[in-house]
Amino acid sequence: MNRRTSLSVAALLLLPLNASARPLPDDPLERRCWLQFTADRTTVNLFAESTPVTFSNLRDGFQVRSPLWVEFGIRGMGVMPAGNKREQTGHHHLLIDTPLPASVADPIPFSDKHRHFGKGQTAVALELSPGPHNLRLLFADHEHRPYFVFSRKMNIIVTGSRKDLPKPKIDPARFAETCQAWYQDEVTTPPTAEKLVYVKNLRNGETVGSPFLLKLGVVGLGVAAERTAIADTGFFQIDVRQNRSVLRSLRLSDGQTETVLDLEPGDYDLDLNFLAGNGRTLLRDELQVTVSKRQTMTRPSATRRSPEAFPVEAAGAVAAAMVRCAGSDCDLRP
């Protein structure tokens, strides 16, 4: 081995690597509960009449402890810190117990009810008082002017503080009810790591149908486009491996935080890298997934009366198009 190769290997070994991808729960009841929601977290909803801005981990009616981990999702656009003008990018704002702004021309105000994530963050640990609250995400440009691309309003109930209330447990005699309580707490528990890159909606060793959605997150850093010299930011790259061979590499160079994978049945390793604007690796992680089957997609019909089948081949073609244009502007419509 020559000196240059030795230095390259040494540098690779020094890269920050998450201890491991988040594992499936060890407890059989908790694992059973978690796996009940895999399809809900990963199903590709290509043509649903839904907003492109979503809460990655929250659902309407959740009952949670505070602080709660709130994850932001955006499809069709990229994330970019405030003050940096770039087409088809912006940053997230969290509206707490307040309506949408009345004007699209005015910047979003700064207040406790209008939280700005101008560093390109993908999530926040949110402190809320006990009781009912409503949350909404709003995406805005480099000057905090809203695109009026926003999420549905989420109504949640904060049951109390994490330091005062114990974590919910699953009772096998009341599995359905207690599974819901445990799961809602599990997906909103803040991570303990100061810096972390991770797949939001999958854990190591899960089984999925294909195509499936990947939602990506980073802790301690912000998201920005490739070839931008913005401190403490980076972009995502995913390498899909099978039997140690790289099948494809997805470089989300415009600040995207979601993508679709369309894979044949089999076992795969996903190498998740968070790269600085100059391509240097900042964080990385590995995730093992099993694709069990190719699945048929559904979409609402024009009359909205009944769902129509969307062949997996067509879904795969659209998913592949999403992959191919992961580093450029994409406009995928039925």
pLDDT value at residue 330: 34
Q: Where are the domains of the chain?
A: 51-186, 194-324
Distance of CA 9 to the CA centre of its chain: 31
**Please, are residues 275 and 281 in contact by the beta-carbon 8 Å criterion?**
yes
Reported as a single tens digit per residue, the pLDDT across 54-90 is 999 999 999 999 999 999 999 989 999 999 999 999 9
* Secondary structure class of 230 (helix, strand, coil): coil
Q: Is the pLDDT of residue 14 over 80?
A: no
Q: How confident is the model at residue 50 (pLDDT cuts 50, 70, 90)?
A: low
State the DSSP H helix or E strand holding residue 184, giving kind and residue range, or none if neither. Answer: helix 175-186
Q: Is the pLDDT of residue 100 over 60?
A: yes
Entry pTM: 0.84
pLDDT value at residue 103: 81
pLDDT value at residue 321: 40
- Considering only 11-15, 139-143, 174-178, which range has the smallest mean pLDDT? 11-15
Q: Is the pLDDT of residue 48 over 60?
A: no
Reported as a single tens digit per residue, the pLDDT across 229-282 is 999 999 999 999 999 999 999 999 999 999 999 999 999 999 999 999 999 999
pLDDT value at residue 21: 81
pLDDT value at residue 299: 55
Separation CA 155–CA 176 (nearest Å): 21
* 51-186 and 194-324: identical CATH topology: yes
Higher model confidence: residue 97 or residue 314? 97
Q: How confident is the model at residue 322 (pLDDT cuts 50, 70, 90)?
A: very low
Separation CA 217–CA 324 (nearest Å): 21
Tell me which DSSP letter residue 130 carries. Answer: S
Q: How confident is the model at residue 20 (pLDDT cuts 50, 70, 90)?
A: low
Q: How confident is the model at residue 328 (pLDDT cuts 50, 70, 90)?
A: very low
pLDDT value at residue 326: 37
Fold of the domain built from segment(s) 194-324: Immunoglobulin-like (2.60.40)
- Considering only 78-92, 116-130, 188-202, 315-329, which range has the smallest mean pLDDT? 315-329
Reported as a single tens digit per residue, the pLDDT across 150-196 is 999 999 999 999 999 999 999 999 999 999 999 999 999 999 999 99
51-186 is classed in which CATH architecture?
Answer: Sandwich (2.60)
pLDDT value at residue 333: 30
| Token duo for residue 209 | 């149908």
pLDDT value at residue 310: 38
pLDDT value at residue 149: 87
**Please, are residues 152 and 136 in contact by the beta-carbon 8 Å criterion?**
yes
Separation CA 267–CA 288 (nearest Å): 7
